[in-house]
Chain A
């Protein structure tokens, strides 16, 4: 019997390689683009659009568009959406060239500011006119940013809603609330960026990859359909035993879902399970059963299943849903009453400010390019205008676009060129484990040591310190015994072989040290004695439950 190969179904062939473009608009948008560039998680054209030339200079996106170069002179929009829109209209040809010829265009923006709220709707419209699918991922401002910004954000939101095929909205307040207050602000923002980048990847894979049970954009929009709704998003990936459950657990851990508690109120929920060839039905069933406990019966579950060879033996679970802002806030402030404890102070959540229904008529714009508004009143500019754009498609391959973007760069101050690699460098070092600190003060040298080099150190310490350390003496004794047993070698690794068992005169430290020398320990597996089952006390990467002498010794050995 010839098996019918699903992966080569006509449907899969037609969507073989959808071209994706991600546009980051404004400061928040460019941060997300940076994050995506660094993580290389999505295979897409990355475009960064901003009015502020300094931000553009720092940006790591391959394509950069300076919005309204003549109008703004490289200065940001200063929180004025009108200016942002003007700038975008000025540069619409450039934008169009950059985003043309893509099937799906994502637009990321932080609403509330000038460029984000002003330019994003214009870009969305341009994108829509190119015939692509337009998905907008936006964040609402923090409540402390004030009412005005919130109003601006809601205004922009209204405009975006009309132009985008789907709108994924994140509530900054919610993200801020759920990150521990003691965490650095940098970390908080990083996490938010990461979450958005993750959601971008998830949405693109869900809508693009052919699936056994396929989810389309219609499912996505119905999951997100909610009046004044905010997106709830969770993503988890796991491998190994119990991978399905683990992946779901991770997805539920997402701060936006609040360990599944927020799912109780949602009307519809999109669930996408993806795995490699080895994904079994039992695993999928297990995941859905577990998820069922978090979701009420009447919830509409949009289920998708995809097989992606790229995942290998991992399973990925994506949850997307939305919840009205009022419900979200109600949930955040609800705390069980306690008898003798003071109730938690209510975090000041802003009452959703009434969005001024002020339409932004394009005719107000002083731009000479802005055409008089005619047919569709909510269009920011006439689409026919695109006819005047020199050429389209193949005449402008990406390379030339990049050259164009490079043309923008001479405007930038030269400093930015120096800084760019520095940012990469910082990222690289972040990835690498910190080099071990080798303590050589006489105080730490008294700790048991067993290597020849360390023995010298101990000897040195002995001669240095006013009083001979007994511990060092004990160790020195054991070291000499050891060196007799195995000929002294310079190579530390071979010296650490298990057979070089320490024969200590005082039978001190023997078993522990040999057990330790056999392998490199990662955190958590270390010998914590009676604190084995307790919560570790980790300070600066060290588990303080492990005996002090043991840790100091290991540091010295490194």
Chain B
């Protein structure tokens, strides 16, 4: 087996499309080899609406990433999001046969199977099913049940599922590039792997990936993933609000939001004006800075409140507080508003240190794609060793199913 593996992560965002190439070392370290980015077209609220435009953009990003990293990219880990993705927790309960007292591998599999057999809508498909913990005879937080004495084994699962058609669409779009999709990952799950440290997960933390199209979140409690989901509101909504309030085109509203906007309006001196310029530099008019900020504030507060509504039950147990990442987390004052909404500590965070291009990982915009690399690495390390025969069998299976698709 090779000393290190190279992975590529692809995130098709609403604002930008990003390909990150990273090298996962055997010791667990990650080195970013290159990042390719292109502005995104044809994506709304995290979901692809225009195949061709998206494919052109992905190609752009891909070529750039290949150039910078000097790696030929064939397989990618694809990050997906969208309002259709939902999550739930389920517990599977397995009673050991009477003559058996020690928990074996089969029993764990059985408990997992029961936990995973929840009924999701027929049109949906499982994206992730993550083991949260095992419970042996009512004793919680068992990490490794095999070999323990016990009568009843329960497996606690966090299940993330989405609408089959929409997930398949994203995959199909990437396949036509052509790129092979190694796995589909729910964006915030990937991002949390690099934004949240182990301690933060243990203490309890809520990571909010505040992107342009969607606001994705993952909540960890006692080191276990407890809630995750997607609010289909994001930075684009802020821009749209500004554009409609000021009667200016979207592009200009976006620039105004990034360059001048802030979500704090209490400290703005009364009557401070901002001039809006058109492309040639002519001044079109003036607006009050406080007004701009207030429009942005209202929307930001609402989006965060939507997230709050969804994680309300778990807020009391977040020791490490909230980690804001994603493009919008760079907006001025967003942490103050988040603190107002949630009432707990808020940290703005990018990806945790990885080696490579330093400018990249400090930017919260890249949390999700870098997270994809980390996710791939974790996935590989957890993968059970397969005999060559089995691997061949799986290959064949993949081949067959790709024919039927």
A binding-site residues for B, Cβ under 8 Å: 177-178, 180-182, 332, 335-342, 344-348, 446-447, 467-471, 473-474, 506-512, 527-531, 533-535, 537, 539, 544-545, 547-550, 552
Q: Does B378 contact A (CB under 8 A)?
A: no
Q: Is the CB of B247 within 8 A of A511?
A: yes
Q: Is the CB of B299 within 8 A of A547?
A: yes
Q: Return chain B residues, CB-CB under 8 Å to A178.
A: 122
Alpha-carbon separation in the docked complex, A528 to B243 (Å) = 11
Q: Return chain A residues, CB-CB under 8 Å to B121.
A: 180-181
Q: Does B290 contact A (CB under 8 A)?
A: yes
A-B residue pairs, 6 tightest by C-beta: A470-B290, A547-B241, A548-B298, A345-B117, A529-B240, A339-B401
Q: Return chain A residues, CB-CB under 8 Å to B240.
A: 528-531, 545, 547
- Min CB distance, B88 to chain A, in Å? 9
- Min CB distance, A500 to chain B, in Å? 19
Q: Does B66 contact A (CB under 8 A)?
A: no
Alpha-carbon separation in the docked complex, A520 to B405 (Å) = 48
Q: Is the CB of A508 within 8 A of B244?
A: no
Query: If A470-B270, A548-B241, A550-B244 touch, does A507 touch B285 (CB 8 Å cutoff)?
Result: yes
Contacts beyond the supplied A346-B117, A470-B290, A549-B299: 8 A-B pairs with Cβ under 8 Å: A339-B398, A341-B168, A345-B117, A345-B119, A470-B270, A527-B244, A528-B240, A544-B232
Alpha-carbon separation in the docked complex, A528 to B97 (Å) = 59
Q: Which residue among B122, B167, B265 has the maximum number of chain A CB atoms within 10 Å of its CB? A: B122
Q: Return chain B residues, CB-CB under 8 Å to A447.
A: 298
Cross-interface CB contact of A338 among B125, B243, B246, B291, cutoff 8 Å: B125
Query: If A342-B125, A529-B243, A534-B44 touch, does A181 touch B119 (CB 8 Å cutoff)?
Result: yes
- Min CB distance, A232 to chain B, in Å? 16
Q: Does B63 contact A (CB under 8 A)?
A: no
Alpha-carbon separation in the docked complex, A133 to B184 (Å) = 58
Q: Return chain A residues, CB-CB under 8 Å to B286.
A: 506
Q: Is the CB of A340 within 8 A of B181?
A: yes
Alpha-carbon separation in the docked complex, A335 to B181 (Å) = 21
Cross-interface CB contact of B294 among A181, A182, A338, A446, cutoff 8 Å: A446
Q: Return chain B residues, CB-CB under 8 Å to A470.
A: 265, 268, 270-271, 288, 290-291, 294
Q: Can you list 19 A-B contacts (CB < 8 A)?
A: A178-B122, A182-B86, A339-B405, A341-B167, A345-B116, A467-B266, A471-B294, A473-B270, A506-B288, A507-B285, A508-B245, A512-B247, A534-B44, A537-B232, A544-B232, A544-B302, A545-B237, A547-B245, A548-B298
Cross-interface CB contact of A508 among B122, B181, B236, B287, cutoff 8 Å: B287
Q: Does B129 contact A (CB under 8 A)?
A: yes
- Min CB distance, B372 to chain A, in Å? 14
Q: Does B330 contact A (CB under 8 A)?
A: no
Q: Which residue among A346, A467, A510, A512 has the maximum number of chain B CB atoms within 10 Å of its CB? A: A467
Cross-interface CB contact of A506 among B116, B126, B181, B287, cutoff 8 Å: B287
Alpha-carbon separation in the docked complex, A510 to B261 (Å) = 22
Alpha-carbon separation in the docked complex, A398 to B333 (Å) = 74
- Min CB distance, A217 to chain B, in Å? 34
Q: Does B306 contact A (CB under 8 A)?
A: yes
Alpha-carbon separation in the docked complex, A531 to B233 (Å) = 11
Alpha-carbon separation in the docked complex, A181 to B90 (Å) = 13
Q: Return chain A residues, CB-CB under 8 Å to B167.
A: 341
Q: Is the CB of A539 within 8 A of B244?
A: no
Q: Return chain B residues, CB-CB under 8 Å to A180.
A: 121
Q: Does B60 contact A (CB under 8 A)?
A: no
Cross-interface CB contact of A344 among B124, B243, B291, B402, cutoff 8 Å: B124
Q: Return chain B residues, CB-CB under 8 Å to A347.
A: 119
- Min CB distance, A437 to chain B, in Å? 15
Q: Does B280 contact A (CB under 8 A)?
A: no
Q: Does B182 contact A (CB under 8 A)?
A: yes
Q: Does B183 contact A (CB under 8 A)?
A: yes
Q: Is the CB of B164 within 8 A of A338?
A: yes
Query: From residue 311 to 336 of chain B, which have CB atoms closer than 8 A to chain A?
Result: none
- B293, closest chain A residue (CB): A470
- Min CB distance, B82 to chain A, in Å? 10
Q: Does B41 contact A (CB under 8 A)?
A: no
- Size of the chain B interface, CB-CB below 8 angstroms: 59
Q: Return chain A residues, CB-CB under 8 Å to B45.
A: 531, 534-535, 537
Q: Return chain B residues, CB-CB under 8 Å to A342.
A: 125-126, 129
- A182, closest chain B residue (CB): B86
Cross-interface CB contact of A549 among B245, B265, B290, cutoff 8 Å: B245
- A545, closest chain B residue (CB): B237
Q: Mark B98-138, 1 if CB is under 8 A from A, else 0.
A: 00000000000000000011111110111101000000000
Alpha-carbon separation in the docked complex, A473 to B294 (Å) = 12
Q: Which residue among A177, A468, A471, A531 has the maximum number of chain B CB atoms within 10 Å of its CB? A: A471
Q: Is the CB of A340 within 8 A of B183?
A: yes
Q: Is the CB of A544 within 8 A of B298?
A: no
Alpha-carbon separation in the docked complex, A429 to B45 (Å) = 36
Query: If A470-B290, A507-B285, A548-B241 touch, does A341 touch B125 (CB 8 Å cutoff)?
Result: yes
- B121, closest chain A residue (CB): A180
Q: Is the CB of B306 within 8 A of A339?
A: no
Q: Return chain A residues, CB-CB under 8 Å to B302.
A: 544, 548
Q: Does B250 contact A (CB under 8 A)?
A: yes
Alpha-carbon separation in the docked complex, A277 to B36 (Å) = 65
- Min CB distance, B85 to chain A, in Å? 13
Q: Return chain A residues, CB-CB under 8 Å to B173.
A: none
Q: Return chain B residues, CB-CB under 8 Å to A507.
A: 247, 285
- A467, closest chain B residue (CB): B266
Q: Return chain B residues, CB-CB under 8 Å to A338.
A: 125, 164, 168, 401, 405
Q: Return chain B residues, CB-CB under 8 Å to A537.
A: 45, 83, 232-233
Alpha-carbon separation in the docked complex, A537 to B230 (Å) = 12
Query: From residue 191 to 249 of chain B, which have CB atoms closer than 8 A to chain A?
Result: 232-233, 236-237, 240-241, 243-247
Q: Return chain B residues, CB-CB under 8 Å to A510.
A: 247
Q: Is the CB of B244 within 8 A of A469?
A: no
Alpha-carbon separation in the docked complex, A443 to B295 (Å) = 13
Q: Return chain B residues, CB-CB under 8 Å to A512.
A: 244, 247
Q: Return chain B residues, CB-CB under 8 Å to A531.
A: 44-45, 236-237, 240
Q: Is the CB of B184 within 8 A of A340?
A: yes
- B302, closest chain A residue (CB): A548
Q: Return chain B residues, CB-CB under 8 Å to A474.
A: 288, 291
Q: Does B387 contact A (CB under 8 A)?
A: no
Q: Is the CB of A549 within 8 A of B298?
A: yes
Q: Is the CB of B401 within 8 A of A345?
A: no
Q: Is the CB of B126 within 8 A of A468?
A: no
Cross-interface CB contact of A337 among B129, B181, B401, cutoff 8 Å: B401
Q: Return chain A residues, CB-CB under 8 Å to B306.
A: 539, 544
Q: Does B358 contact A (CB under 8 A)?
A: no
Q: Is the CB of B244 within 8 A of A341?
A: no
Q: Return chain A residues, CB-CB under 8 Å to B139.
A: none
Alpha-carbon separation in the docked complex, A23 to B316 (Å) = 53
- A544, closest chain B residue (CB): B233
- Min CB distance, A165 to chain B, in Å? 34
Q: Return chain A residues, CB-CB under 8 Å to B244.
A: 512, 527, 529, 547, 550
Q: Does B404 contact A (CB under 8 A)?
A: yes
- A528, closest chain B residue (CB): B240
Alpha-carbon separation in the docked complex, A473 to B168 (Å) = 51
Q: Return chain B residues, CB-CB under 8 Å to A545.
A: 237, 240
Alpha-carbon separation in the docked complex, A511 to B247 (Å) = 9
Alpha-carbon separation in the docked complex, A447 to B291 (Å) = 10
Alpha-carbon separation in the docked complex, A537 to B215 (Å) = 13
Q: Is the CB of A509 within 8 A of B164?
A: no
Query: If A508-B245, A550-B244 touch, does A344 touch B44 (CB 8 Å cutoff)?
Result: no
Q: Return chain A residues, CB-CB under 8 Å to B236.
A: 530-531
Q: Return chain B residues, CB-CB under 8 Å to A509.
A: 245
- A547, closest chain B residue (CB): B241
Q: Return chain B residues, CB-CB under 8 Å to A533.
A: 44
Alpha-carbon separation in the docked complex, A403 to B240 (Å) = 66
Q: Return chain B residues, CB-CB under 8 Å to A544.
A: 232-233, 237, 302, 306
Q: Mark B169-200, 1 if CB is under 8 A from A, else 0.
A: 00100000000011110000000000000000
- Min CB distance, B304 to chain A, in Å? 12
